[in-house]
Amino acid sequence: MARKVVDEPSEEVVANARIARESNRGPFARLNLFIKQVFAELRKVVTPTRKELLSYTGVVLVFVIIMMGIVSAFDWVFGLAVLYVFGTPG
């Protein structure tokens, strides 16, 4: 199954954010800090295994097919209701 993911910022990121908040940095220094924090968070991303990826893809496809069926059924019912209210076309 999926590996355990820690969703807490690393202590280094928190320390850098505190330092940035306490000091009045210029816009480029803040942008640089933001980019560093983005890369630090991206290092935490866990890539799913092939089995997990296929499982997730199957679940999404089944969900989309079911939703297509529901929307199609509503469209058909509303189409019949419109024909009943306004009469046959032509």
Q: What is the pLDDT of residues 18-41, one digit of tens each?
A: 776 666 678 888 888 889 989 999
> Is residue 2 assigned to a domain?
no
pLDDT digits (tens, 9 = 90+) for 40-78: 999 999 999 999 999 999 999 999 999 999 999 999 999
Q: What is the pLDDT of residue 11?
A: 78
Q: What is the pLDDT of residue 38?
A: 93
Query: What is residue 77's predicted lDDT score, i.e. its pLDDT?
Result: 97
CB burial readout 19-39, b (16+ within 10 A) else e: ebeeeeeeeeeeeebeeebee
Report CA Rg, the chain.
Answer: 26
H/E stretch holding 13: helix 11-22
- Asked whether residue 4 is assigned to any structural domain, the reply reads no
What is the structure's pLDDT at 82? 93
41-52 CB burial, b ≥16 within 10 A, e <16: eeeeeeeeeeee
The per-residue pLDDT for 3 is 59
Comparing 19 with 5, the larger pLDDT belongs to 19
Same domain? For 37 and 56 the reply is no
Residues 52 and 90 in one domain: yes
Q: What is the pLDDT of residue 2?
A: 56
Same-domain pairing of 59 and 78: yes
80: tokens are 């019949």
Q: 36 with 18, same domain?
A: yes
Say how many domains are in the chain.
Answer: 2
Same domain for 31 and 60, yes or no, is: no
- Structural domain containing residue 74: 48-90
Residues 56 and 29 placed together within one structural domain of the fold: no
Q: What is the dihedral of CA 82, 83, 85, 86, to 10 degrees?
A: 100
Same-domain pairing of 41 and 54? no
CA distance 37 to 89: 61
54 shares a domain with 40:
no
Structure pTM? 0.53
